[in-house]
Amino acid sequence: MLSEANLLHGYVYERIKAGGNGELIIGLQKRANSGKYAARLNGSHCHANVKLSAKNRKLFDKSTFMDTEFQNKGLQMTDDPWTTLDVCQVYDNPWIQVSHRKVLNPSGGKGIYGIVHFKNTAIGIVPLDQAGNTWLVGQYRYALGCYSWEIPEGGGPLGTNMLDSAKRELLEETGIVAKQWTKLLELHLSNSVTNEFGVAFVAQGLHYMEAQPEESEQLQVRQLPFSQAIQMVLNGEITDALSVAALFKTNEWLRTGLLAF
C-alpha cells in the first residue's frame, strides 16, 4: 500500500488489469482541506499479482525522491544512543521473560522501558503445491480475544535449527511433509517492546500424512488457492504479522519468477 508521505505530487487515476481476475483501480485523490493525498483501492476478486505500469513507477519514484534525499543528508547513527541504568526482572515463564528498566533516552532524559524477551524463534511456513494451493491454520488467539487465520506457525527454542523447527511445525499442524524448503524472510515482529525474532520458509514438493497438533491446540486446517490467501490479506481477514509478510513476499517471488508452483 502507498503511504500518504509518498504521495507528494499530483494525482493519477488508472485502471490496471489484474491477472484476468477483475480490475484493480488505484486512485490518488488530493484532500481539499489538508493538502494531503490518500490512496484508494477498489474492485472485487482482484488478483494480487499486479504489475504497476512504467508510468506509475516513474511517478512514485519521483514522489519519494525528496524524502529519500532528506533522509540521506542526516548522519546514519549506528551506536546505541540509550543508556541502561537498572534492570529488574519482573516476570518469567517457559516462553517469555519481562524486564523493567530505568534508562536514559537518546535525548539524555530519564525514563523507563519494559521489554518482553521471547525464548523461542517464531517460525512460519508457506506450503505450496503444484496446483497453486496453500494451507492456512485457524485458531482462537487468547491474547487477542478473537479467531485468527494464519500460515502454519510455531516456535523453535533459541539456538536450535530453525529449519528443523519449521519441518516439525508443518507436520504437527497440517500433516504435510515437504521435500523442498526455501528460506523466505527474517523479521522482528514488534520491535518497540519485544525482541521477538521470526523466520519464514516456503515448503514445496508436498506429501501428506496425519496432523499431530499439540494437546492444547484446537486447529482448523484449510486448503485454498494461494491467490485466495492473498485476497484474504487484502480484505483484512488475515492480520497476523508473520503471515502477512510471508504471504506477500511469496506472492512477489511468484510474480517476479524467483519462485514457481
DSSP-assigned beta bridge partners for residue 139: 148
Domain at 120-256: CATH architecture:
Alpha-Beta Complex (3.90)
The full set of domain ranges for the chain reads 4-44+51-73, 83-117, 120-256
Q: For the segment 140-167, what is each residue's pLDDT rounded down to a tens digit?
A: 999 999 999 999 999 999 999 999 999 9
pTM of the model: 0.70
The gap from C-alpha 218 to its chain's centroid, in whole angstroms, comes to: 24
| Structural Rg of the chain based on CA atoms | 22
Report the C-alpha dihedral over residues 161, 243, 239, 130, rounded to 10 degrees.
-150
Confidence of residue 87 (pLDDT cuts 50, 70, 90): very high
DSSP string, 81-113: --EEEEEEEEEE-SSEEEEEEEEE-TTS-EEEE
DSSP string, 116-146: EEESEEEEEEEE--TTSEEEEEEEEETTTTE
Count the Cβ atoms, other than its own, within 10 Å of residue 154.
20
Pick the range with the lowest mean pLDDT from 49-53, 99-103, 140-144, 221-225: 49-53
Confidence of residue 182 (pLDDT cuts 50, 70, 90): very high
